[in-house]
Structure 1
Amino acid sequence: MSFTLATWNINSVRLREGLVARFLQEEAPDVLCLQECKSPVDKMPLEAFRSLGYAHVVARGQKGYNGVAILSRLPIEDAGDRDFAGLNHARHVAARLENGVVIHNFYVPAGGDVPDRTVNVKFGQKLDYLTGMRDWFRAARPHKSILVGDLNIAPREDDVWNHKQLLRIVSHTPIEVDHLAQVQEAGGWVDVTRQNIPKGQLYSWWSYRSPDWSAADKGRRLDHVWATSDIAAAGHDSRILRDARGWDQPSDHAPVLARFDL
C-alpha cells in the first residue's frame, strides 16, 4: 500500500472548512489528520469532506477547544483514544488502516507562556501529558505505527528561527525537548520529516502576531510525522506546505506531509 499522510493544526475546522476543502482538492492526501478542531464531532463539517472523497472518519471532539480528527479516502477503523494526564481533553485519537498500520493523531497541550510549572499550571499539564505518552509507549511497545500531530515542541536548534533566543520560550525549552525525546525513545519513533530533510531550518508554525510572517520568518517546527523504526524507512517525500500559511484567514500552522510505501 502506498499512501500520502498529512497533519494540520487547523485552528477551528468549522471556521476553516473551506481551507480544508481546498487542501483536500489541491493536495489530495489519502489521510489527513487535523488538530485543534474546536468542535464536537456532530458539529464538524464531515459531510462536506465526505463529498470530496473522504468517506472514512475517526474523530474526538470538544466544544470550543481541542478536538482531533482523521479523514481518509482509505478504509480505517477506530483504534481508540487516550486521555493523558487526566485532563479530559480531546487530544488523541487513533485509526487502523486495512494493512494493520495504526495512525496516532495527537494535539499536545501548548503549555501557556511561562516555562515553570510552579507558577503555570498549563506548563505542568504539558509535561505530565508527555510523561503519560512516554509511559504508555514504553508499556505498549508500538510497532507498524505512525504518530502525527501538533506536538507543540520544536526539538532541534534548526527547528526554530533563533535557538538561543527561544531557549526560555515555551515550545523550545530544554525540559520540553527532553520530555519529547523520552516519548520518542519509549516508542522507538523515528522523526520521518527530519529523516527525509536532515539539514536546514524547517518550520510549520508562524505566529499571528507577526505583521509579515513570511518576511520575518520567525517560525518553529511544532508539527511532526513520526513512524516506528520497523516502518520508518518506508516514509519519503516529506514536505511542509508553507503556502497554506498565506491563504485567506489561515491557521497559524501549515500542513506537514509524507508518503509511505507499506
Structure 2
Amino acid sequence: MTKTPTACFIIIGDEILSGRTLEKNLPVLTDLLNKQGIRLTEARIIPDKKDQIIQTTIECSHKFDEVFTSGGIGPTHDDITSASISEALNLPLERHEPTFELLKRNSPNKQCNQMKEKMAWFPKGSTPIENNCNAPPGFSIKNIHVMAGVPAIFKSMVKWLIPQLSKGTPLHSFAWHSFNLSESNFAKDLQTLQENFPNAELGSYPFRNGDKEGVTLVSKGNNLDAVKTAASMFPNIIRKHGGTPHEGDFQS
C-alpha cells in the first residue's frame, strides 16, 4: 500500500493573528495536497518572531514529511522568514543570482535596492519555487517549502510545487446534504455506519444561509471502495429522518 505522506502548514504573520488580514491560503493548499495524496494533518499560525519561527520550523520538519510556510519573505523589516529558517537549519544565507537578476529586470532603471535584494537571499542549497505572477520565487530546502503570503502569489507557487512532490494515495470525498434537519438526527446512524466502515472518515456538518439550513454528510478517506460505499448509505439515512437527499455539498 502506498504510504500517505503527512504535511503541516505554518502560516506566519502578525497581520493574520491580529485579524487585519484574512487567511485565504489554507483551502488552496489543502485541495492540491489532497489530489497529490499528501495529508495535511496540522496547521499553525505564528507571529513574525524569529525564535518562534525557528522553533516551529525545527519541530515540524522532524514531525512531518512536508512542511509549507506562507508569509514573511518580502522586502520589509519584519519579513524575517528566510533568515529564521536559515538559522533553524544552521545554514548560511546566500544570494540566489537568477532571482537577483529577476528582481533587477522588474525594477525601475533595472536597479535593485538593498531592501528589495533581500528577497533574493535563500538558505544555502535552496531550490526556487517558481510562480507566474512576475514576482520573486519562494524556495524549498530539505522538506520545507517557503512561499509568499499574498494569496495570488501563494496559489501560483503552490500549483507549481505540489505536482513535483512525492505522491501518495489521493484523498477521496463524497457528500450528500439535506435541508431542515439537524446533526442530532444523524448522530446514531453515523456512529453505526462508522463502526461498519472503519476505513472511511464520516462526519456531519451543519450549514445555514439566510432561511436555508440543514446538514451535509461527508465520507472521505484514501480507501475509495470504503469511502464510496459508506457514502452510498447517506440517501437512505436522510430519507429515514424525513429529509430529501441532495448529492454534493450545499452551495450557498
Q: TM-score range by the shorter chain?
A: 0.3 to 0.5
- Higher share of residues assigned helix: 2
Larger Cα-atom Rg = 2
Q: TM-score, length-normalised on structure 2?
A: 0.36
Q: TM-score, length-normalised on structure 1?
A: 0.35
